[in-house]
Amino acid sequence: MAKHRADATRWIKSSYSGSNGGNCIEYAPATPGNAVPVRDSKRPHGPLLAVPRPAWTDFVGAVRRGELGG
């Protein structure tokens, strides 16, 4: 994913992230292509993880169903 595209992307902070500045992720679901970019909210200019869309959909579904513990 090109850096300039990632900088222009609308990022959404996970609703499961707390407001205490701890472990937070952001994702950009409207990014065109076959992957959803994910980043550490504390490092907005750091590396991105490009998650294949089907895997992202499965992950979000598992979180919503409470299948990942926590």
In a domain, 8, yes or no: yes
In a domain, 36, yes or no: yes
In a domain, 69, yes or no: no
pLDDT tens-digit readout, 36-60: 999 998 888 889 999 999 999 999 9
Q: DSSP class of residue 48?
A: -
In a domain, 45, yes or no: yes
Please state, in angstroms and rounded to a whole number, the distance separating the CA atoms of residues 20 and 9.
Answer: 24
> In this model, does residue 19 exceed pLDDT 70?
no
pTM above 0.85, yes or no: no
Percent of all residues in the chain with a pLDDT value above 70, rounded to a whole number = 77
In a domain, 70, yes or no: no
Domain that holds residue 60: 3-64
Q: How many domains does the chain have?
A: 1
